[in-house]
Amino acid sequence: MIRLSLNGTGVQVEDGSTLLEAARLYGIPIPTLCHDDGLTPYGACRLCVVELGQGRLVSSCTTVAREGMVVRTDSQRVARARRLLLELYVATSPQSKRIQDLASAMGVRECRYEAKAEDCIQCGLCVRICAEQMMGGAIGFAGRGKNRRVARPFDQTSELCRQCGACLYVCPVCELRCQAGTADTTLCNGCLNFAPPCFKTYDDAMCFLDPCHACELAGPFRADARTRIRAASTAR
């Protein structure tokens, strides 16, 4: 067992645990976009950064816990990094409901960038699930820097692709489309404004905030509100 300090509390985790696993084991939420428990840690989304001692911010998903580490998941530095990152994520992929929800939850209240709607955030989940879980390896990354993208070999569907759809399944961007993220209103913040615009489309699945007190208070989950809105949407 490894002993370390997590937000000031002494904890024990198994050998080889990552800091992300350690934090989650002790119920400390850490947002992630490129992490999946069944896949190799990748460390590309940088959202899961935590502060190590007085030193640098490191991605908790790729950092293995070592004896005596002092980890903070809730420092101001971490919070600032996550907020600035999510602001950038929202601008890159305003239609990802997952990103919009995370942004609202982390307290992002404005997006100072022009929205680009690139959608793909290159979290690499699709590439990894294809190779590691589906034993496919039909997609990968091509290019470098601003030209980097998820691609098929020579832009043709590979013989290795069985069209299983696992890549779609894990994608944090194309799973559910946020209804609010348009060019005019990059940031949704719907649940915080007590007016989630996605309610009409996603009904029960509408809010991924965990837990979404705002939504509960606002009442879209209340029976009367739900009936009212459902009626409105059927009428249309």
Residues contributing to the site for another protein (CB under 8 A): 43-46, 49, 56-59, 62-64, 77, 80-81, 84-85, 88-89, 91-92, 112-113, 121-124, 141, 143-148
Tell me whether residue 144 or residue 213 sits nearer to another protein (CB atom): 144
Smallest distance from another protein to CB 6, Å? 19
CA distance 39 to 232: 42
Task: State the residue for tokens 């043709």.
Answer: 156
Smallest distance from another protein to CB 53, Å? 14
Q: Are strands 70-72 and 2-6 parallel, antiparallel or unpaired?
A: parallel
Task: State the residue for tokens 């239609």.
Answer: 95
Tell me whether residue 146 or residue 236 sits nearer to another protein (CB atom): 146
- What are the strands, taking DSSP E only, across the chain? 2-6, 9-13, 49-52, 57-59, 70-72, 140-142, 149-151
Tell me whether residue 9 or residue 147 sits nearer to another protein (CB atom): 147
Tell me whether residue 3 or residue 66 sits nearer to another protein (CB atom): 66
Q: Which long-range contacts (CB under 8 A, 24 or more apart) does 111-116 make?
A: 111/87, 111/186, 111/187, 112/87, 113/87, 113/88, 113/186, 115/90, 115/91, 115/181, 115/182, 115/183, 115/186, 116/91, 116/92
Smallest distance from another protein to CB 143, Å? 7
Tell me whether residue 71 or residue 191 sits nearer to another protein (CB atom): 71
Smallest distance from another protein to CB 14, Å? 18
Smallest distance from another protein to CB 81, Å? 5
CA distance 195 to 189: 9
